[in-house]
A and B are shown apart, each in its own frame.
Chain A
Amino acid sequence: MSSIELKNLRFCYPGADEDTLSDLNLQIANGEAHALLGASGAGKTTLLNLLSGLLVPTAGQVLFDGRDVSELPGRERAVAQVFQFPVLYEAMSVAENLAFPLRNRGLDAEAISARVAYVSDELELGDRLARKATSLSLFEKQLVAVGKALMRPDVSLVLLDEPLTAVEPRIKWRLRQTLRKVQADLGVTMIYVTHDQTEALTFADRVSVLTADGIVQTGSPREVYQSPAQEFVGHFVGSPGMNFIPANVLQTVPGDRAGFRPEWASIDPGGQLAGSVGRVSLLGTRGGVAEGLVTVFTEHGEVNVRGPVEVQEGDAVGIRVDRYVAFANELRIAEGELA
C-alpha cells in the first residue's frame, strides 16, 4: 500500500500532434479509494496505462510513496488491475488463479494458501475455490478477478477500469459494495476509473473529474456534487446535470452565471423564474404523490426541476430556486441559499 503522486505528468502518443494528457497533478493518500470520473476521450485509459506501467510518461513523474516509478515496467511496480471484463486464466481453478501472482513471486506454499483462504473468505468465494474459472457466472468471475488483484499483501495500488461494465445492472451495487468493503478492510489504495457518476460518487473517498484539459476538480463526493469547481463539473455530475441561468436573474447572486441542481428548485408561482412546462417525466410516487422531473422552457433556456409533479405539459409555471452556485468565467466564485 502506497501513497500515489502524479507530478506535472504529460503524455503524447508517438506521432500525435497533441498531448493526450498535459500537466496532470494529483495526490492520492495511502489507503484511499479514489475515483477518476470522465467521459470517453478524456484520457482515462492513457492515465491508467501510465499508472500500470504499460506506458512511460513523455514528461513528469509517477511517484509511489515518493519513489519515482515512471520508467519501471508494470511487473516491478506492485500494481494490480481489474479490467472491464473478467480477465482470468481459464484453464486454472479459482484457487490457482488467486495463487498465481504470489507463486510467481516465490512465496512459500503455506503463505500462499493462507492468503488464498483470507482473500476468498473476504469475497465470500470460499465454496468456489475448487471450481474451474470458466464454470462461474460473470459476476463471480469478476469477483475472482478482484480477488486476484488483492492477493499480494504488498500491493501498492489496485486499478479498477470500469469493473462493473460486464455485470448485470441490478447486481452492480453488490460488487461495488464488496469492493468498498474489501478496500476498507485491507486498507488498499484503489483508483476506480469510470464514466458513470453514480459509481464514482458511491465508491470513492475522493473523486477527480477528468476532462481533455486535465483534472478540473478533486474533492469528496459531496463537494463535487454540491460545489462544482467549474460549470462543466456541475453539468457532468448529476443526472440530469445542473441548470444554468444568468446570475442577475437571481438578483443577489454574484458572477455571470448561476447554477442550481434540479432538486434545489421547485414549482412555485412566486418563484424567480417563469416559463411553460415542456416535458414531464414521472419517476414514481412519494407519499402518494407522483414525482419526477419537470422540464420548463424559460427565456433562459430549459430548466429541470425535480420533485412532486402536479403540472401538465403546456402549463405556465414559476420556478423558485433555493440554493445556487455562482460562476464567473465558468469557475465557481460563491455559493449559498436564497431566502
Chain B
Amino acid sequence: MLELNDVRLPGASVAFAHTFAAGEISVVLGANQSGKTDLCRLIAGLPTRASGAVRIDGEPVVAGPRHRPVAMVYQAFINYPNLTVAENIASPLKARRRAQAEIAAAVHELAAKLGLEHLLQRQPAELSGGQQQRLAIARALAKDARVLLLDEPLVNLDFKLREALQTELRALLKASDTVVVYTTSDPRDAFALGDEVVLLSSGEKLQAGAPIAVYTNPSSLAAMQLLSDPGVNLFERDGHTHAVRPEHLRVSTDGELSFDLRVTANETNGDESFVHGVVEERDWVVRTRGMLEALPGDVLRLSARHDDVRRFT
C-alpha cells in the first residue's frame, strides 16, 4: 500500500492525498504538464518541485531513491548500453548481493515472462524499441519493489506494439502484489489497464475510482473531459452547461434530445467514425460505429438520451 499525504505538485493551489492499493494497477491520467512526472519523482525520491509525505505499507519513506523499495520505468528506453540483456536484468539483484544461482534463476524467469529468453546475450542497442522497453520493465520487476512506477512507458512505441504490450502488461502486473502506478495522457490506457483511475489536472487530483465509475459519474466537467477521447460536447439549456460524450450521440431522427450537426470533417479508423462539426455554434464531435458517409457541409440530425447528458453548474 502506498499512501500519499499533503501532496503539492507544481502549479497546484491545493494539496491532495491518495492511497494506492497493493496488487492493483492505478492509472494516473492527465494532459502534458499536469504533474504526472513530478508525482512519480516524488514517490521515487528523485529531485522534484513537488512536495508531500510518502508512506509505503504504513512506514514513512524518507530514504534516497537508491534505498527506496520503488522501481521506475521511463518514457525513454533506459537500459545499461554496455551490458547484455541478461546482465541488465541481473543488475538490481547484483546490487543487492544476491547469490549467483538465485540471480540466474530470477533472470530466466523474468526473461521468459517478458519474451526475452532468446535475446539474453544481446546488447540493448541490438533490440527493437518494444524489446528495449520490455527489458526496462524486466529490470524494474527484478528489483522486486513494493511500488512500480511506469511513466508513460509506451508513448514512444509503434501503434501495433503499444497495443500488444498493453495487453501483456496488464497480465504481468496483475500477477504480483506490487503497487503499480501507471501514468498516461491517453484515456484508453485507463480502461485497458486500470483497476483504478486517478485524474490529474494542473497538479490537482480531480477524481479517482474505477474507470467505468468515473466515466459514468464524473464529478466535474474537467473530469468528464479528461476521461473522454475525443473531448466532450457542450451545449446550453436553461442557463446551465450540459455535456454529452461523443459516443453517446447517435445519427438518428428519433431520441429524447435532438441536435443538428453541420459537418466540418469526418475521420475513421475503420471500426469507428469521428464526425466533427458545429452544433449551436460550438465545436462537436460524434463517435459512431463503422465507416459513416458524411461530407463537410452535410447536416446530420443527432439524438441523445437524457441519462447520458451531464449538467454542470
Contacts and interface: CB of A to CB of B under 8 A. Distances in A.
Query: Do A and B come into direct contact in the complex, CB within 8 Å?
Result: yes
Interface of A: 39-41, 168-170, 173, 176-177, 180-181, 195-198, 201-202, 221-222, 225-226, 236-241, 261-263, 279, 281-288, 290, 292, 306
Contact of B31 (A41, A168, A222): A168
A176 B245 CA distance: 21
18 contacts: A39-B158, A39-B161, A40-B128, A168-B31, A168-B32, A169-B186, A197-B159, A201-B268, A221-B270, A241-B160, A261-B271, A279-B167, A281-B191, A281-B192, A285-B212, A285-B248, A286-B247, A306-B271
B191 A282 contact: yes
Contacts of A201: 268-270
B163 A239 contact: yes
Given A195-B160, A196-B159, A238 B191 contact: no
Interface string B290-306: 11000000000000010
Interface in B226-284: 229-231, 245, 247-248, 264-265, 267-271, 274, 276
B307 interface: yes
B65 interface: no
* B interface majority secondary structure: mixed
A308 B290 CA distance: 15
Contacts of B215: 284-285
Given A196-B159, A202-B269, A240-B163, A288 B245 contact: no
Closest 9 CB pairs of A and B: A225-B270, A202-B267, A198-B269, A195-B158, A177-B265, A196-B159, A282-B212, A263-B271, A281-B192
Given A281-B192, A285-B215, 15 more contacts: A41-B128, A168-B185, A170-B230, A173-B230, A177-B264, A195-B159, A197-B159, A198-B269, A221-B270, A221-B291, A241-B160, A282-B212, A284-B191, A284-B247, A288-B307
A237 to B, nearest CB: 6
Contacts of A285: 212, 215-216, 247-248, 308
A241 B128 CA distance: 21
A162 B247 CA distance: 27
Given A195-B159, A285-B215, A237 B247 contact: no
A216 to B, nearest CB: 15
Nearest to A240: B163
Contacts, number: 98
B282 to A, nearest CB: 15
Contacts of A168: 31-32, 185
Interface size class of B (residues with CB under 8 A): 35 or more
B188 interface: yes
A287 B305 contact: yes
A238 B159 CA distance: 10
A173 B191 contact: no
Contacts of B268: 201-202, 221
Contact of A177 (B128, B129, B229, B276): B276
Contacts of A202: 267-269, 274
Contacts of B245: 284
B158 A283 contact: no
Contacts of B270: 197, 201, 221, 225-226, 237-238, 261
A286 B269 contact: no
Contact of B129 (A40, A197, A282): A40
Contacts of A236: 160
Contacts of A261: 270-271
Interface string B101-134: 0000000000000000000000000001100000
Contacts of B49: none
Given A170-B230, A202-B267, A281-B192, A290 B212 contact: yes
A181 B267 CA distance: 12
B289 interface: yes
A173 B276 contact: yes
Interface in B2-52: 31-32
A184 to B, nearest CB: 9
B211 interface: yes
A238 B271 contact: yes
A239 B271 CA distance: 8
Nearest to B184: A169
B202 to A, nearest CB: 15
Contacts of A279: 167, 170
Contacts of B160: 39, 195, 236, 241
Contacts of B167: 279
Given A239-B163, A292-B191, A197 B305 contact: no
Nearest to A302: B167
Contacts of B159: 195-198, 239
Contacts of A180: 265
